[in-house]
Amino acid sequence: MKISAVIFDLDGVIVSTDEFHYQAWKQISDQEKMYFNREINERLRGVSRMESLEIILSHSDKNYSEKDKQLLAQRKNEVYCALLNKLSPNDILPGVINLLLSLKARDIKIAIGSSSKNTPFILEQIGLAFSFNAIADGNSITNSKPDPEVFLLAAEKLGVAPEECVVIEDAQAGIDAAIAAGMKAVGVGTAASCVNAQLTLKDLSNLNIDQLIEVNEIRS
């Protein structure tokens, strides 16, 4: 199968915002006296804001109304966005720019497939707001990863068949979403130990397009 597009997750693949998510949830958890640590934080990768809150609450005996949960999530997002103000193009992860340029040179389309509603703000902060052929994010989906919706939407926006797309992800939920969408998946960073991915890497510094083409030729 030829490769027509590469769909990038944002947080943890293009830019490392994970620490900001952790700090923001930690601040709210401490204020509310809810139990939260880095191990729980790992389970929030690729998961929407409200589902992340539910995971945190499952480790606590606190009960909140739906309205209070919305307010908690809103408070977390305010702390998180204040931290995002510090982001700059220097925070783009190793290998990303080279890979984007090589894909463009080979006429392979590039898209974002992220659960984050802050995608437009993050892309603007790092100077990549106009770099992608399509953006599918938390603002335009109903079901977050591991549901395939965000990646299928990215493929649809690109006008490309799902089987012609390779996804690059740092989250188990994202790898599962890619596979559920009928796409191949490359796991980077924290997903480097993910068994379901067709290829795993520490970061994107040494990934070349021929490797991506090989990944897409693997039979499911």
Residues that bind ligand G6P (CB under 6 A): 11, 21, 44-49, 52, 77, 114-118, 138
Query: 3-state DSSP call for residue 185?
Result: strand
Residue 203 annotated among the catalytic residues of the structure = no
Q: Is 186 in the site for Mg ion (CB under 5 A)?
A: no
Which is closer to ligand G6P, CB of 155 or CB of 171?
A: 171
Minimum distance from residue 192 beta carbon to ligand G6P (Å): 16
Instruction: Find out whether 206 and 95 touch, Cβ atoms under 8 Å.
Output: yes
Catalytic annotation present for 9: yes
Which of residues 162 and 187 has its CB atom nearest to Mg ion in the complex? 187
The correct pick among 56, 126, 171, 204 for binding Mg ion (CB under 5 A) is 171
Backbone phi and psi for residue 213, each to the nearest 5 degrees, phi listed first = -65, -40
Copy the structure tokens of residue 35: 């139990």
Number of amino acids touching Mg ion (CB under 5 A): 5
Beta bridge partners of 201: 188
Whether cis (ω within 30° of 0) applies to the bond prior to 146 is yes
Identified catalytic residue from 9, 18, 137, 176: 9
Q: Which of 11, 18, 137, 170 is catalytic?
A: 11
Q: Are the CB atoms for 22 and 56 separated by under 8 Å?
A: no
Amino acid at 166: V
Is residue 170 close enough to count as binding Mg ion by CB under 5 A? yes
Rounded distance between C-alpha atoms, residue 92 and residue 104, angstroms: 18
User: Please, which of residues 106-135 interact with Mg ion by CB under 5 A?
Assistant: none
Residue 136, phi then psi, degrees to nearest 5: -120, 125
Provide the mask over 7-46, with x wherever binding to Mg ion is found by CB under 5 A and - wherever it is not: --x-xx----------------------------------
> What is the smallest separation between the CB atom of 117 and ligand G6P, expressed in angstroms?
4
Nearest Cα residue to 1 out of 133, 165, 159: 165
Helix (H) or strand (E) holding 184: strand 184-188
Give the nearer residue to ligand G6P in terms of CB position, either 4 or 116. Answer: 116
Neighbouring residues of 6: CB distance < 8 A, sequence distance ≥ 6: 103, 108, 109, 110, 111, 165, 166, 167, 168, 212
Distance in Å, CB of 185 to ligand G6P, minimum:
15
The binding site for Mg ion (CB under 5 A) comprises 9, 11-12, 170-171
Please identify every residue annotated as catalytic: 9, 11
